[in-house]
Amino acid sequence: MTARVLARLRANVLALLGLATVLAAALPDAASACAMCLAGQNGGTTRAFAIGSLFLSITPLAVIGALVLYVRRRARKLAAAEAARDTGAGLPVVAPIAVRR
């Protein structure tokens, strides 16, 4: 993309974000009008929503953390195998064969 196209795209995105901000500030009742938000007025429902939100927030972080851990361990294992291959470590030592003439 050219610099001109990127500048126009950036301006459009900023304009849309500005419009969304103005609408949210001008119409706060419409922004909080979801049925689930209004249904959670008592203590039990509010606690259930909080626990559910916490679970939904932690789950992707745990999955990403597990993937990072797997990739890290795999990279270390491959690096160790490559280092062993390059140095000849782990290969059996064979005595040279004497050649009789």
Residue type, 64: I
Residue 6 falls inside a structural domain: yes
**Rounded CA gap, 15 and 78, in Å?**
48
Asked whether residue 38 falls in the same domain as residue 73, the answer is yes
Distance linking the first and last C-alpha atoms of the chain: 74
Considering the domain boundaries, does residue 92 fall inside one? no
Whole-number pLDDT of residue 28: 66
* Token representation of residue 20: 């969304």
Structure tokens at 6: 């990127």
In a domain, 41, yes or no: yes
Based on the fold, state whether residues 79 and 55 are members of the same structural domain.
Answer: yes
> Is a pLDDT exceeding 90 seen at residue 35?
no
Same domain? For 43 and 81 the reply is yes
Quote the number of domains for the chain.
2
| Dist CA 37 CA 53 (whole Å) | 13
Do residue 53 and residue 81 come from a single domain?
yes
Indicate whether 66 pLDDT > 80: yes
Answer yes or no: do 28 and 50 share one domain: no
